[in-house]
Every structure is written in C-alpha cells, then in structure tokens.
C-alpha cells in the first residue's frame, strides 16, 4: 500500500516539528502549555482507536459537513470549546515534556499501524460523528498542524 501524504506528515514531518517544542514554547492562543498540547494529541489518538470514548456533541445532520471539514488539509478554527463542556486544563499525566513527546511518537506509530491494518474501523469523533480510521488519519494531520501553528513550530498556512 502506498504511503499517503497524511501518513508521511505524521511519520516524517511531525517528529521534526515536535523536536523543536520546548517547555519555553509559547502558545499564540489558548491556555495549553506545551506538555498539555502533547498530551491532548495523545488523547485524540486514543479516541481514534476506540480506547477513549467522548460523546458526540453535534447533531447527526451536521456530521457530513463537519467530517469533511475535519479531514480537509486546511487550518482549523482557534479556541474550539471542549466537547465535554469543561475548558479547564486536564492534569498532566507524564512527569515531563520529554516523556510526553516520546509517548506521542509511540502513539503516532501505533495509530498508523492500526489504520493500515483496520482502515474501516469506526470510532466516534466528538464533532464529526462516526469516522473510519482512514478518516481519522486525515484529521490527525490537520490537528497536529493546528497545534504546531499554535506553538509557532510551523508557519500558519493561511499566511503561506
């Protein structure tokens, strides 16, 4: 199977950008710290393989349009409210940023393997509704870019 651009991004480009993230990296919006952002990305991988289930907050008739937006390689809206209604930062799960980054890279590779083996596996996205692993792959690329822009690790592609 040919490697997709989304796989290429997550496997090759994302680790390079992630390496530039430090404790001193400042967010240009939102309240997440660098480690909160990394741990947030880990949680979304767990959602996409069915290990964490968050209720869908959009109406079923909105799913097709929302899903199309989530999979499109374009900038995401900023300051999206939490789907669980609590916009407080979650407690950190890892002892430091380095450990969290290592875990994120492991989760990335694990997801990519999962998506290749089970592209039709369906897990609920809180805004996009039921999505196949192959659709989550596109979302993860968009989501990584969103947070990499947030922390100045890549240029905002609206400006490019």
132-154 residue pLDDT tens:
999 999 999 999 999 999 999 99
101-121 residue pLDDT tens:
999 999 999 999 999 999 999
pLDDT cut 70: percent of the chain above it: 95
16-64 residue pLDDT tens:
999 999 999 999 999 999 999 999 999 999 999 999 999 999 999 999 9
The H-or-E segment that residue 148 falls in is helix 133-150
3-state secondary structure 26-94: CCCCCCCCHHHHHHHHHHHHHHHCCCCCCCCCCCHHHHHHHHHHHHCCCCCCCCCCCCCCCCCCCCCCC
Query: How many Cα neighbours within 13 Å face the side chain of 6?
Result: 22
Angle 133-150/63-71 helices, nearest 10 degrees? 60
Residue 96 predicted with pLDDT over 70: yes
Give pLDDT, residue 143. Answer: 97
Residue 71 predicted with pLDDT over 50: yes
What average pLDDT does range 66-71 have in this prediction? 94
Model confidence, pTM:
0.93
Give pLDDT, residue 85. Answer: 66
């Amino acid at each position: 199977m040919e490697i997709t651009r989304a796989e290429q991004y997550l496997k090759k480009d994302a680790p390079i950008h992630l390496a530039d993230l430090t404790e001193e990296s400042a967010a240009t919006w939102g309240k997440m710290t660098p480690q909160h952002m990394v741990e947030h990305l880990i949680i979304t991988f767990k959602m996409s393989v069915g290990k964490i289930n968050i209720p869908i907050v959009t109406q079923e008739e909105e799913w097709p349009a929302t899903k199309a937006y989530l999979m499109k390689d374009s900038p995401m809206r900023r300051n999206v409210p939490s789907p669980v209604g609590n916009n407080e930062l979650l407690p950190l799960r890892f002892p430091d940023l380095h450990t969290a980054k290592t875990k994120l890279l492991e989760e990335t590779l694990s997801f990519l393997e999962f998506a290749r083996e089970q592209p039709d596996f369906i897990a609920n996205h809180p805004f996009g509704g039921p999505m196949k692993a192959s659709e989550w792959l596109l979302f993860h690329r968009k989501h990584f870019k969103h947070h990499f822009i947030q922390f100045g690790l890549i240029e905002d592609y609206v400006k490019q």
